[in-house]
């Protein structure tokens, strides 16, 4: 985890300032506590398998160059003579006379006693290998410094001392190899060398050296609370920070989060560059993207506090809640506040739980769920199991081993924080579980394994889950979309101070009745000569023409479930009928005459409803009367034209009779 956190942090440092402007030196005057912390970062990169393999690869196959080596040889032992040697024979001093009998005596009478030759030698003393040696010496010196400071602070030897000492010896072993004995001190650092940038082994050392220098300058106040002063390791806290970067990786793939925002995670501090990631400190990154034709905005929160508030404001309706990570997504056409107030925003929460080892204690099976019942109702055997279960749970909670209490916390997030569509545990296990509230992936609850290993176990599944959530959010025909609309529609206004305790129908066919506001009643007029025909045939008709035709009627009139009839000069009535046809049918006046209509129809077409009397078990009975004048403010002929009201409006117009 430290290795990956360091890699992320150094990447952020690179975004904060160019590598060209870095000092590439370690400040040895930093306080000891900070030094311990920085050693933890440094150790995570230089003590990795990748780095060890890189050194072994360099030692086994070092880069070599041809070197011209000048040597003095006795003239009698010089091999092949070239132009350089011929010039030395002719001009060099310290000569020896040639006996007269030699064939060359006629050309020259003396030769030099020795000649200088230039030999091409294969050598490892080149800029790239000098850099490797320099990097190893720098790492070793840093470990030595850590040990010296610990020794100065007292006689106690914390675990970090032995780690630094062991690492120091390892670098000594590397440097004792024969190839490093031939290598001289570097004069320059060839950062633009193709060998350092591309060749296996060398490029890893260059990367680690850059990370080492930046990590040695990095100050992370989140770990300054004596967590490393005595070699302590708050692994759960490190896991929480590590998960932050993994979630950020996923969200950066989907949404355009500006690098400038991510770069702000590194800020200048009094003792270097500080990583602004700390438990309890709110960090937020925002972005946007167009996915499946829908423009979405996102905010990724770390340590966001959802304070207690009143509807429809953001926050929690019970107590303050602070999930580790919250992902908030909403349509970009709305501001975040507008999306909150109109139920358009969706919050997904994650909590990192390093101490959770498996799902066994998070999600009990149906068979074991009965263990939470009243122990007095269980058998003697079950009572023993229940007692053991309760004692074990209490002991685990006292020890701080988070198990099912974490699942309860996810329920708290989902139920208390408004517009929350999911809450999930991230833990270093092997199994995942996704519980759905209804049919779709969200609203939901569950847990995902996310292990800090080289294989990044569970990362792909978590990434796919977030992509599936995004797909659901962009689906305009999803049930979640419809549910959020009706939540907004129902709660947009405060309820009226009007209660309905009347006996009303509970069912419509096989299913429950619709809400009173969504159940419509058609208010219809009849002439006396029509009323007998209505009762006999179970039909009721309304005219269609330009003055009072189909364009006057909407879904409320055509989808009405009940019909309230009133006659001439009879605006207070209890003549309530049930409409049994799903929708009215359109018939001609000839068809209406065939059905025995008592008068000559004056219009070409009519809408006809099939009706039947309501029964006393559905409503309070024949004693209920309704005043139509309280339903529509009109007079005279206006009450003759049919119109529709909700069942709630009708009940408000009820007339109290004695």
**Stretch 52-79: mean pLDDT:** 85
Q: Is the pLDDT of residue 582 over 80?
A: yes
84 and 42 in contact (C-beta within 8 Å)? no
DSSP class of residue 417 equals B
Name the CATH architecture for the domain at 507-655: Roll (3.10)
Q: Is the pLDDT of residue 448 over 50?
A: yes
Residue among 146, 282, 283, 272 at smallest CA distance from 221: 272
User: Pairing relation of β-strands 346-352 and 420-427?
Assistant: parallel
Long-range CB pairs of 582-587, under 8 A, 24+ apart, other chains included: 583/558, 583/559, 584/542, 584/558, 584/608, 584/609, 586/544, 587/541
Encode pLDDT of 522-553 as tens digits. Answer: 999 998 889 999 999 999 999 887 655 556 78
CB atoms under 10 Å from CB of 380, counted, come to 6
Encode pLDDT of 135-158 as tens digits. Answer: 999 889 988 988 888 888 765 677
Confidence at residue 230, expressed as pLDDT on a 0 to 100 scale: 38
Could you tell me the two tokens for 424? 């999930």
Q: How confident is the model at residue 356 (pLDDT cuts 50, 70, 90)?
A: low
Every domain of the chain and the residues it spans: 2-63+126-233, 65-123, 248-362+404-484, 365-402, 507-655
CA 229 to chain centre: 33
Confidence at residue 373, expressed as pLDDT on a 0 to 100 scale: 45
Encode pLDDT of 70-119 as tens digits. Answer: 778 788 777 778 888 788 888 888 888 888 777 776 677 788 888 888 77
60 and 178 in contact (C-beta within 8 Å)? no
Confidence at residue 554, expressed as pLDDT on a 0 to 100 scale: 85
User: Cα separation of 218 and 274, whole Å?
Assistant: 6
Encode pLDDT of 551-566 as tens digits. Answer: 678 889 999 999 999 9
Which range, of 35-44, 233-242, 574-583, averages the lowest pLDDT?
Answer: 35-44
**Quick check: bond before 290 cis, omega within 30?**
no
- pTM above the 0.75 mark? no
- 426: which residues sit within 8 A by CB, 6+ positions away? 243, 350, 351, 352, 353, 447, 448, 449, 450, 462
504 and 513 in contact (C-beta within 8 Å)? yes
Collapsed DSSP state (helix, strand, coil) of residue 398: helix
How high is the mean pLDDT of the chain? 80
130 and 185 in contact (C-beta within 8 Å)? yes
User: Cα separation of 340 and 419, whole Å?
Assistant: 8
Confidence at residue 378, expressed as pLDDT on a 0 to 100 scale: 44
Which of residues 101 and 209 earns the better pLDDT score? Answer: 209
């Amino acid at each position: 985890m430290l290795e990956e956190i360091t890699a992320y942090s150094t990447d952020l440092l690179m975004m904060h300032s160019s590598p060209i402007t870095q000092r590439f030196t370690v400040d040895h005057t930093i306080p000891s506590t900070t030094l311990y912390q920085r050693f933890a970062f440094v150790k995570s990169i230089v003590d990795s398998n990748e780095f060890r393999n890189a050194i072994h690869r360099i030692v086994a196959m070092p880069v070599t160059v041809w070197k011209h080596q000048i040597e003095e040889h006795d003239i009698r032992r010089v091999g092949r003579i070239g132009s350089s040697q011929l010039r030395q024979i002719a001009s060099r001093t310290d000569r020896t006379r040639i006996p007269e009998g030699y064939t060359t005596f006629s050309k020259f009478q003396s030769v030099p006693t020795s000649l200088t030759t230039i030999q091409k030698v294969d050598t490892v003393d080149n800029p790239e290998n000098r850099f490797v040696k320099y990097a190893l010496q720098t790492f070793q010196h840093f470990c030595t410094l850590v040990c010296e400071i610990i020794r100065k602070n007292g006689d106690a030897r914390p675990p970090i001392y032995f780690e630094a000492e062991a690492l120091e010896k390892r670098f000594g072993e590397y440097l004792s190899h024969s190839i490093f004995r031939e290598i001289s001190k570097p004069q320059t650092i060839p950062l633009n060398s193709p060998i350092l940038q591309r060749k296996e082994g060398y490029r890893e050392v260059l990367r680690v050296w850059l990370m080492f220098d930046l990590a040695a300058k990095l100050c992370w106040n989140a770990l300054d609370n004596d967590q490393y002063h005595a070699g302590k390791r708050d692994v759960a806290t490190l896991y929480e920070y590590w998960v932050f970067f993994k979630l950020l990786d996923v969200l950066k793939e989907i949404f355009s989060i500006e690098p400038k925002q991510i770069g702000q995670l590194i800020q200048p501090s009094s003792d270097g560059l500080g990583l602004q990631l700390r438990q309890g400190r709110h960090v937020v990154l925002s972005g946007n993207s167009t996915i499946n034709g829908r423009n979405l905005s996102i905010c990724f929160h770390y340590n966001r506090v959802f304070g207690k508030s009143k509807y429809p404001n953001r926050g929690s309706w019970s107590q303050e809640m602070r999930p580790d990570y919250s992902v908030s997504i909403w349509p970009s056409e709305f501001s975040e506040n507008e999306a909150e107030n109109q139920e358009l925003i969706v919050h997904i929460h994650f909590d990192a739980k390093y101490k959770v080892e498996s799902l066994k204690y998070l999600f009990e099976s149906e068979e074991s769920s009965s263990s939470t019942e009243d122990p007095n109702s269980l058998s003697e055997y079950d009572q023993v199991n229940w007692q053991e279960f309760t004692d074990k749970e209490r002991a685990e909670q006292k020890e701080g081993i988070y198990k099912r209490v974490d699942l309860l916390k996810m329920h708290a997030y989902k139920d208390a924080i408004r517009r929350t569509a999911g809450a999930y545990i991230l833990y270093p296990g092997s199994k995942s579980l996704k519980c759905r509230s209804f049919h779709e992936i969200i609203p939901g609850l569950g847990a995902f394994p996310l292990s800090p290993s080289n294989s990044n176990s569970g990362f792909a599944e978590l990434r796919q889950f977030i992509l599936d959530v995004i797909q659901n959010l962009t689906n305009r025909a999803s049930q979640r979309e419809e549910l959020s609309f009706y939540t907004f529609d129902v709660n947009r206004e405060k309820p009226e101070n009007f209660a309905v305790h009347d006996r009303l129908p509970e069912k419509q066919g096989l299913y429950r009745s619709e809400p009173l506001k969504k159940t419509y009643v058609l208010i219809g007029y009849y002439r006396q000569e029509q009323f007998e025909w209505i009762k006999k045939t179970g039909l009721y008709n309304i005219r269609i023409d330009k003055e009072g035709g189909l364009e006057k009627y909407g879904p409320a009139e055509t989808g009405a479930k009940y019909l309230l009839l009133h006659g001439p000069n009879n605006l207070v009535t209890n003549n309530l009928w049930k409409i049994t046809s799903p929708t009215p049918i359109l018939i001609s006046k000839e068809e209406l005459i065939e059905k025995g209509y008592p008068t000559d129809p004056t219009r070409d077409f009519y809408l006809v409803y099939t009706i039947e009397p309501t029964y006393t078990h559905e409503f309070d009975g024949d004693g209920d009367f309704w005043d139509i004048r309280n339903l529509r403010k009109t007079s005279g002929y206006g009450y003759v034209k049919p119109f529709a009201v909700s069942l709630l409006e009708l009940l408000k117009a009820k007339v109290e009779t004695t």
